[in-house]
Amino acid sequence: MVRADFDRSLEELQAELVGLSEMVERAIVKSMDALERRDLAVAYEVVDEDDLIDEKRFDLEEKCINLIATQQPLAIDLRTLLAVLHIAVELERMGDYAEGIGKICLIIGDAIPVAMPKEFSRMAQIGLEMLRGSMKSLVERDTALANDVWDSDDEVDALYDGVCRQTFLDMVQHPNTIEADTHFLWVAHDLERIADRATNIAERVIFLVTGKVGRYEGQSDEE
Amino acid sequence: MQDLDAILQTRGLSVYYDTKKVVTDVNLDVARNRITAIIGPSGCGKSTLLRCFNRMNDLIPSARVEGQVLFDGRDLYSHDVDPTEIRYLIGMVFQRPNPFPKSIYDNVAFGPRINGFKGDVAELVERSLRRAALWDEVKDRLKASALSLSGGQQQRLCIARALAVEPRVILMDEPCSALDPIATLAIEELMRELSEDYSIIIVTHNMQQAARVSNYTAFLMVEEARVGFLVEFGESRQIFTNPEDERTEAYITGRFG
């Protein structure tokens, strides 16, 4: 292998990106847990730990820039580094949404007795599956899996629309819940955006593998 | 890739040195007023292929060419073609600057003079030096020896010398390999400007240079069974970001070669 050192750097970079995705995954799980159980201590943790996610993102960015400057990557190497750069940003933004949910927990406090919309846990569950799926598609360079992630976004969008409709209705019928409902609309938005960002990661994986942007419509794998 | 307007085309081109085949069945179109890079590992036949375009291989006694090289549709190897005339139309710049041991002025005037140029030689020299982006640096010392110039200036002088006989195509064989990075960038900049009026083919080992400067790239390879065959040809931006052939990918990412 002529570029063993560079290959090792690329592998390490990918491993660190997977590490970042795991941090984000934990943040999302914790934020939903905090919201469900109205656990302010956990919500504080999510908000605090977002700084670590931000740091990691900039760390990855710096490593990418160093490799671009020193290795002059082309073709698959160039696409890999660009994909890592993009995906690091997507992950960092997903972390921000988890932080957003954590902050809403803190605003709501443990006082408001209104139950959160039942769709939230499903939305979070699909979002997490999409995140894991998109990262797995990256590690395995699997465009079919990336397509699956892409397709899952529709269900989250539908759930989001349902939550919005129901919440607005609720606000009209029960004006005393307007404050809580407004917060819940933000949570719904954050969850919907988490799924969008996972879709973006899947899109980047397809770019990495095929060099083309967009859902993979290439040759079938059955050949 | 869209159909390109080809000034040069090879059809089933093979080259032998004695019985050894060094270029194998190459079909390549060279775009008019564009820069085409030929890349590939050492011994893949890049320079030999380049020399086919102005019949420089004729000067090697053991070399034999099969197939066709068409210059605007006319076969360069047809027996009624004068190779000397071809070398005016299709000029060449070499790896190491090779100015004549004469003045700057005489280097540029040399070709037109022996070519029986009847016009204003001084004007032609100035125009050629300007096109080669050298005029401002040498206009006050045209009578100085060409060998007093720096390597980068000498290479631009060789380009000016090639331009003075008003070629249509310029072949460049590793034109920057003996130059420092700044002189290299100056030549690349010049190539860009010249490609508005000339068709350029460059052979280079420097992948970043091919990626920076060329519009099209041809990747040649050598295997045990075959030497000097074309693996992939395409727009450079596609070749260097997303090549179709995995052998191209392996080469340009430095995984072999």
> In terms of CA atoms, which chain A residue is nearest residue B207?
A74
Locate A175 and state its tokens: 């004006």
Distance CA B173, CA A120 (A): 65
Mean pLDDT within B11-28: 96
Mean pLDDT within B12-40: 96
> In terms of CA atoms, which chain A residue is nearest residue B249?
A75
**Pairing assessment for the beta strands B216-222 and B227-235 based on DSSP bridges:** antiparallel
Confidence category of residue B64, pLDDT binned at 50, 70, 90: very high
Three-point CA angle A21, A24, A30, nearest 5°: 145
User: In which residue are the tokens 């443990």 written?
Assistant: A110
**Pairing assessment for the beta strands B90-93 and B74-75 based on DSSP bridges:** unpaired
H or E stretch including B192?
Answer: helix B181-194
Q: Which range among A67-76, A184-193, B168-177, B248-257 shows the weakest confidence by mean pLDDT?
A: B248-257
Question: Are B255 and A72 within 8 A, CB to CB?
Answer: no
Q: Which of B217, B242, B251, B256 to probe by mutation at the A interface, max A CB count within 10 Å?
A: B242
Is A8 within 8 Å of chain B by CB?
no
Strand order in the sheet with B6-17: B20-31, B6-17, B63-71, B74-75
Taking 80 as the threshold, does the pLDDT of residue B149 lie above it?
yes
Domain positions in chain A are 4-210
Q: What pLDDT does B1 receive?
A: 64
DSSP symbol at A81: H
Question: Are B243 and A73 within 8 A, CB to CB?
Answer: no
Looking at the domain A4-210, which fold is it? Methane Monooxygenase Hydroxylase; Chain G, domain 1 (1.20.58)
How does the average pLDDT of chain A come out, rounded? Answer: 93
Closest CA to A203 of A40, A82, A27, A60: A82
Distance CA A101, CA A105 (A): 6
Confidence category of residue B70, pLDDT binned at 50, 70, 90: very high
Residues of A whose CB is below 8 A from B241: 74-75, 78-79, 211
Neighbours of B111 (CB within 10 A): 21
In this prediction the pTM is 0.84
Taking 90 as the threshold, does the pLDDT of residue A165 lie above it?
yes
How does the average pLDDT of chain B come out, rounded? Answer: 94
Residue B177: HSE in the Cβ half-sphere, 13 Å Cα cutoff: 14
Locate B39 and state its tokens: 């890349």
Taking 90 as the threshold, does the pLDDT of residue A91 lie above it?
yes
Question: Are B240 and A1 within 8 A, CB to CB?
Answer: no
CB-nearest partner of B240 from A2, A74, A212: A74
The string of pLDDT tens digits covering residues B178-199 is 888 998 999 999 999 999 999 9
Question: Are B242 and A210 within 8 A, CB to CB?
Answer: yes
Distance CA B152, CA B5 (A): 32
The string of pLDDT tens digits covering residues B93-111 is 999 999 999 999 999 999 9
Give the CATH architecture of domain B6-252: 3-Layer(aba) Sandwich (3.40)
